[in-house]
Amino acid sequence: MITEEDIARARRDTPSVTEEDIRRAQRQHAAPVVLPAPDASPRIDALPKPLTQTLPDLSAIARGYAADRPPAEGMGKGPGLFVFASLAMPEAALMRIFEQAARAQASIVIRGLAGGSLRDTVARVQKLIGTRQVSVQIDPQAFDRYAVKRVPTFVLARNGERPEACASGACPPPTDFVSTAGDVSLDYALQHMRRTAPAFQQETGVFLSRLKR
């Protein structure tokens, strides 16, 4: 039972809050004033611009846009000779490949950019090409197209035109090309193809004759 005495005692023990107490609390715990940042809206012209330019032709840059020279063969109609290489290969091996590919009018195929940089890739290829005329292609799908597992690999195709992706069902059948791999010269690779694939006698002869010039 709560008696009148209990109520009176509770009133005596409970402190009373005056208007002064309220004003004092407001001064001590005032809410911070947040000012709006000047010119808070983003500037559209300061935002990063997307890269819209397409990648230039690698061999055209490396050759210095030599318009007065005949175009390199290897991707046109007729037999095509492709040398699958990597810019991570030893310098001496790459120099030999580029020199012989230029004389044989073969195409050099690499999987991707050196270190992921187009600038570094162009600089490296330009150094390897020098004043020669040679076609350099960046074509990762070609490695799957011709089942290339190691570099350097030499592929001689009856039709030098670039086939469509394998997903389209247009991959060249095994009877339409011959390949060999190893750190050998281009003429040695062609002679090996001639011995092991007699059906490609005529095609190997075309490129071997160019190397002898």
| Residue 116: predicted pLDDT | 87
Per-residue confidence (pLDDT) for residue 173, from 0 to 100: 77
Q: Please tell me the predicted confidence (pLDDT) of residue 160.
A: 72
Nearest partner of 137 among 170, 159, 161, 115, judged by Cα:
161
Give residue 111's pLDDT.
92
CATH number of 58-161+172-211: 3.40.30
CB 84, CB 155: distance < 8 Å: yes
pLDDT in tens, the chain (213 residues): 666 776 666 666 665 656 676 666 666 655 443 333 444 444 434 434 443 333 445 655 555 534 444 444 444 567 999 999 999 999 999 999 999 999 999 999 999 898 889 889 999 999 999 999 999 999 998 998 899 999 999 999 987 765 455 655 557 777 899 999 999 999 999 999 999 999 999 999 999 999 998
pTM to 2 decimal places: 0.64
Domain boundaries of the chain, sorted by first residue: 58-161+172-211
